[in-house]
Structure 1
């Protein structure tokens, strides 16, 4: 918990509307209520998007680039709890539960990404959100009013975080394919604020695939884990 509180405190100091914990009269930000850790945060205006469009994608691209730049000097470098080590371990554990074609796809994509990263070990990293789906933002009309839910924040590849956002914000809700209009709006706005290196551009197709795989794998883990746990299966139902 302290790491995530530090991340949002850093971003709030940089001018972002994020749920940073308020400090009480005793100088404390993390409290205990009924035996559970508790924080108090600002209440931001706006609500959850029902879906994305060209305007919201453009705003997100601009905000994400600024968020990545702001995270460059955050001193704590924490690996993702659902990063490389996790997807290696989880994919091996779950492969036997899948249809052969799915298992092959899962393992081959991880191997392909491993090979690429081994050849490009110095891809730029920063402090990333790690889960910036459109329901982790608040909008007031056509204005982005806050970015929330930083509990997947970590120090990782910049392009990986951009790929997570693109895969969610720019996908056609019916077909799952990228919507070219939203895609161009978001990426163009991002690159206007933060220029990508040539190596990052080379990494982009790999990042789109591994970002999709990360969320596919977490959902596979939840589903197949629940199959063997009656309490979790009842809760899911």
Structure 2
């Protein structure tokens, strides 16, 4: 269970005195998640998620994340709204951890996206990209292109122990992404819109969640991060062009990509795949085999990386 910091009934009762949300009727830990302690809270007035932020989250950035999700909720996107207390504050402290109450949104996370679901997430991503036009606060992407050589260096030359092909894939991608575009539109972007961060009911998106990797970066890079997550089999061995075409069609309905952005898609796809190769490789090499956290195979994105290196813009768009 992803509850690293326990919360007792007495802790909760004291905490809720800050809010005007009724009295607790049910409270339980949530198993999903690997970074924070999460609880489902039901009160006499509604349902909420209580999150205690653990050490892996950048505490100084929490006001920015909460401002962003509040902005998106105000724009009527399906983003859970942070709940403010009687003094108007969303960010709190509980049991020596930063904490926040967040609106509960119903829905089921996706495991094997369909073509129709890919279309819906493309449209939702475009709406998100439009909704941040007037969100001017910036946050640097500390997992972005300038950081990839250093991230690769932290793997200490051991990636070949994961797969013999991996070192060459990483070296080729690092070389290719030195030509990273600097003149494409930038905005606040999600950069982690994997299927398990999208909730759906009856074919309709009810929740876009987990904005803790959001930052200021290229809009088309965010598109390719989503593409890499939705348009391949989980092991990265099979590309699904029909999903890619649906993703592109949905995004075109709500925001769309310019000709310059389309031309850059294969390179941006290499960057998106490389970012996950590097973070997964580091975790793979540095997480003890008996740890409770399940390690994710870096080659699932290594195979995507190889595909993007050989792709054309039309292939990325599913044409």
Normalising to structure 1: TM-score of the pair? 0.90
Provide the rounded CA distance (Å) in 2 between the counterparts of 1:236 and 1:194: 37
Secondary structure of the residue aligned to 1:41 is strand
Q: Whole-Å Cα distance in 2 between the matches of residues 149 and 11 of structure 1?
A: 13
Instruction: Name which one, 1 or 2, has greater alpha-carbon Rg.
Output: 2
**Could you tell me how far apart the structure 1 residues matched to 2:165 and 2:84 are?**
52
Instruction: Name the residue aligned to 2:241.
Output: 180
**Residue number among 143, 161, 166 corresponding to 1:102 in the alignment:** 166
Unaligned residue ranges in structure 1 (runs of 5+)? none
Q: Return the match for 1:44 from 105, 110, 113.
A: 105
Structure 1 residue 189 displacement after superposition: 1.3
How far apart in 2 are the matches of 1:101 and 1:184?
30
Per the alignment, residue 194 of structure 1 pairs with 255
Distance 1:20 1:81 in 2: 25
Take 1:93 and 1:145, find their aligned partners in 2: how far apart are those partners?
38
**Deviation at 1:143?**
0.9
- CA shift at 1:20, angstroms? 2.5
Match of 2:176? 112
CA deviation digits over 1:80-106, x for unaligned, max 9?
Answer: 121123322111232511226422320
Which piece of structure 1 moves more, 96-105 or 79-88? Answer: 96-105
Residue range with higher mean Cα deviation, 131-140 or 41-50: 41-50
Alignment partner, residue 151 of structure 2: 90
Q: 1:67 aligns with which of 108, 122, 128?
A: 128
> Structure 2 regions of 5+ residues with no counterpart?
1-61, 295-319
Counterparts in 2 of 1:173 and 1:233: CA distance versus 1, 3 Å: closer
Specify the SS of the correspondent of 2:200: strand
The structure with the greater share of residues assigned to strand is 2
Query: Partners of 1:175 and 1:75 in 2: how far apart?
Result: 35
> Please, what is the CA RMSD of the aligned residues?
1.8
**Which structure has more RCO (C-alpha within 8 Å, separation ≥ 6)?**
1
Give the C-alpha shift of residue 192 in structure 1: 2.3
Contact map agreement 1:167 1:178 (CA 8 A) in 2: no
Counterpart for residue 291 of structure 2 = 234
Asked if 1:203 is matched to 2:267, the reply is: no
Q: Say which SS state the counterpart of residue 109 (structure 1) adopts.
A: helix
User: Secondary structure at 1:72's aligned position in 2?
Assistant: coil
1:218 aligns with 2:306: no
Q: Are the equivalent residues in 2 in contact too, given 1:30–1:37 (CA < 8 A)?
A: yes
Query: Contact 1:66–1:194 at 8 Å: present in 2 too?
Result: yes
Q: Alpha carbons of 1:45 and 1:101: their partners in 2 closer, same or farther (altered >3 Å)?
A: closer
String of CA shifts for 1:155-177, please: whole Å, max 9, x gaps: 01111111111111121346632
Q: CA deviation at 1:139?
A: 0.6
Does 163-172 or 150-159 show the bigger shift?
Answer: 163-172
Q: Is the 8 A contact 1:19 1:42 kept in 2?
A: yes
Q: Pick the structure with more helix per residue.
A: 1
